Amino acid sequence: MSDSKYLVEVKDLKQHFKIPTGFFGHIDLKAVDGVSFNIKPGETLGLVGESGCGKTTVGRTLLRLYKPTSGEVRFNGELVTEQNITPLRKEMQMVFQDPYSSLDPRMTVEDIIGEPLDVHKLYANKNERRDKILSIMELVGLNAEHATRYAHEFSGGQRQRIGIARALAVNPKFIVCDEPVSALDVSIQAQVINMFEELQEKLGVAYLFIAHDLLVVHHISDRIAVMYLGRIVEIADADELNNSPIHPYTLSLLSAVPIPDPNKARQSKRIILEGDVPSPLRMPTGCPFRTRCKYATEKCAIECPSLTDRGNGHMVACWNK
C-alpha cells in the first residue's frame, strides 16, 4: 500500500512482440511503445484508436496476461511483478470483446461465474458459493433460473452479462473492458453500457474502457486517451478532449464522428487522413503520425515528441500543436 491517489499507474509500458524472420532471426513488432497513464479509484479512462494501434495489448500487458518488454505498472502503489500477480488478479479483471469466444459454451452460468471464486477460494462451503453466484447474477440482471443453463443458450447481450458477472465475482477494484459492446447488436449496446455505469456507481470499480467508437467512449469516460501506433498522442478530460482537441490525429478522429445536429454537421469539416497507418513492423522515425500529418516539419522526422501538459492535465504529444 502507499498514499498514492492513483489506483493504477502505468509508466513507459512497452510490448515488443518478436516476429520470426526465418532461422534464428526475428524482428520487433512494437505493439505498445512507451505508454503512460494513471487511473483513480472509481474512474473510467477511455482508450481509443484505430484497429491495430495496440489497445488490447495495453490492456493485456498491464494485467500481465503478456509479460511486458519493459516499463512498470503499480496497483494501489504496489509494483506489479511476476511474483505478486496471482493475488493481484483478484483486484484486476478483464471483460473481453467477444462474449461468444471468451465463454466456454459447455459450462453452466453457475460454473463460469464460480470458477474465479474457486481459484481464489472465496467461500467456506457450497451454500456460500451458490449465494455469492446468485447475488452477482442479480447485480448484472440475470435471473436465478439462468444459473444451471449453458453459455451457448444465451444471446450476445446476455453472454456479455455473464462475462461481466465472472469479472465481478472476485470483487475487483479495476476492470479492463476491451470493446465489451462492439460485438453486440447496436440495439442492445446502450443497455450494456448503462449497466457498466450502474455497476461502477454501486461498486466504485475503476475501468480502462477500450473502444473504437468515440461516441461510446465519450459517454462513459471521465478522461480519454487517444492511441496511434503504440503510443498515446493525447489524453484529457472527456469533455475537454471532445470540445478542444489539440493533436492532429485526435482532430481527424473527431471529425469522422457523425454529428446528430445537421446545422453543426454542415459547419464542421471532415478531415480525411491521407495514406494508411504504417505497419508497426516498420515504424516511422520520430513522430509515429508524421507520415500522415499535414503539420509535420523536419524535427518531427528526427525526434518523437513526449506528452506535455497544456493545462489542467490535458497532455499532448506534438511538436507543432
Ligand X SMILES: Nc1ncnc2c1ncn2[C@@H]1O[C@H](COP(=O)(O)OP(=O)(O)OP(=O)(O)O)[C@@H](O)[C@H]1O
What CA–CA distance (Å, rounded) separates 177 from 174? 10
Taking the least distance from each CB to ligand X, the nearer of 51 and 127 is 51
Convert residues 246-275 into a mask of x (bound to ligand SF4 by CB under 6 A) and - (unbound): --x---------------------------
Residue 295 touches which member of ligand SF4, ligand X, Mg ion, none, C-beta under 5-8 Å by kind: ligand SF4
Which class for 98: exposed (0-12), middle (13-18), buried (19 or more C-beta within 10 A)?
middle
Task: List binders of ligand X among 26-45 (CB under 6 A).
Answer: 29, 31
CA angle 21, 23, 29 (to 5 degrees): 25
288 is an interface residue for ligand X by CB under 6 A: no
Query: Of 36, 38, 44, 57, which one interacts with ligand X (CB under 6 A)?
Result: 57
In 10 A of CB 144, how many CB atoms? 13
Shortest Cβ 13–ligand X spacing (Å): 12
Query: Of 56, 289, 307, 315, which one interacts with ligand SF4 (CB under 6 A)?
Result: 289
184 is an interface residue for ligand SF4 by CB under 6 A: no
Binding-site residue total for ligand SF4 (CB under 6 A)?
Answer: 13
- Residues in touch with Mg ion (CB under 5 A): 55-56
| Closest-CA residue to 33 (of 243, 267, 306) | 306
DSSP string over 109-139: HHHHHHHHHHHTT--SSHHHHHHHHHHHHHH
Shortest Cβ 55–Mg ion spacing (Å): 5
Query: Of 65, 150, 295, 310, which one interacts with ligand SF4 (CB under 6 A)?
Result: 295
Rg for the chain (alpha carbons), in Å? 21
| Pair 224, 235: CB distance under 8 Å | yes
Convert residues 203-242 into a mask of x (bound to ligand SF4 by CB under 6 A) and - (unbound): ----------------------------------------
17 is an interface residue for ligand X by CB under 6 A: yes
| Pair 166, 94: CB distance under 8 Å | no
| Pair 292, 308: CB distance under 8 Å | no
Query: Of 53, 192, 238, 293, which one interacts with ligand X (CB under 6 A)?
Result: 53
Residue 43: φ, ψ to 5° = -95, 155
Binding-site residue total for ligand X (CB under 6 A)?
Answer: 13
Taking the least distance from each CB to ligand X, the nearer of 59 and 114 is 59
Residues 6+ apart with CB under 8 A from 302: 285, 286
Q: Which three cell numbers stand for residue 285?
A: 522515425
Residue 172 touches which member of Mg ion, ligand SF4, ligand X, none, C-beta under 5-8 Å by kind: none
Shortest Cβ 59–ligand X spacing (Å): 8
Task: By CB under 6 A, name the binding residues for ligand X.
Answer: 17, 29, 31, 49, 51-57, 212, 280
